[in-house]
Amino acid sequence: QQQVKQSPQSLIVQKGGISIINCAYENTAFDYFPWYQQFPGKGPALLIAIRPDVSEKKEGRFTISFNKSAKQFSLHIMDSQPGDSATYFCAAKTSGAGSYQLTFGKGTKLSVIP
Amino acid sequence: DTGVSQNPRHKITKRGQNVTFRCDPISEHNRLYWYRQTLGQGPEFLTYFQNEAQLEKSRLLSDRFSAERPKGSFSTLEIQRTEQGDSAMYLCASSSAGSSYNEQFFGPGTRLTVL
């Protein structure tokens, strides 16, 4: 059972364009939603995260939009650059006692072409 | 470098052999996690430590797998009698109990290939 569904599986964007990656979840107990960026051969790096008490969070060129009623959240990368080419993972976690694991989506491979 | 470190970075072994991986978390982090990532998939949770106590284990962690964190600092993950299906990237992450969001920071991983 996949608790976090991520789309698209791959994405090609031109330099300067906007990259949009979407995630949907089922478990309403999730209350922390981070995005990770992973380059080949490296571990995932925390990019940006949001809690459901806000609908949007922006850090530089990266924005998370969150829709609690739809149980969906998305990552927007503005002014996409070739250096942004990587695999992006959404994740979710509950903060209840005894549960510390992150549940990840399957990832989106982003290619930004010059 | 004060990030999470993992050793070795790569391990090639023959089926049936035992392997052990080491993780050194960020020094002030008391929480440590192991995940497994196969090709084209997101990381999957294996186990979690708070200090030296192993508090959570996934059903993915079969009895051939054992993890320890003896002094609440570094951790080891051992796989006994390796199988080809164990081939994956093994990721370690750490976090601070004092962090309101419990952000998890990952190491570079150990890539295991079982022949």
Nearest CA to CA, how far is B15 from chain A (Å)?
A: 23
B107 in A contact zone (CB under 8 Å):
yes
Q: How high is the pLDDT of residue B98?
A: 74
B108 interfacial to chain A (CB closer than 8 Å): yes
In this structure, which amino acid lies at residue B105?
F
Residue B84 three-state SS? helix
Closest among A88, A110, A111 to A6, alpha carbons compared? A88
User: How many angstroms separate the CA of residue B2 from the nearest CA in chain A?
Assistant: 14
Alpha-carbon dihedral of residues B107, B75, B30, B25, nearest 10 degrees?
-30
B51-89 residue pLDDT tens = 999 998 998 889 999 999 998 899 999 999 999 999 999
C-beta atoms of A43 and B102 within 8 A: no
pLDDT at B100: 66
Task: For residue range B28-57, list pLDDT tens digits in order.
Answer: 899 999 999 999 899 999 999 999 999 989
Q: Side-chain half-sphere of A64: how many Cα atoms within 13 Å? A: 27
The larger pLDDT score, comparing residue B54 to residue B101, is at B54
Give the residue-averaged pLDDT of A54-69. Answer: 95
The 3-state DSSP class for residue A7 equals: strand
Return the closest-CA partner of residue B4 out of B91, B69, B76: B91
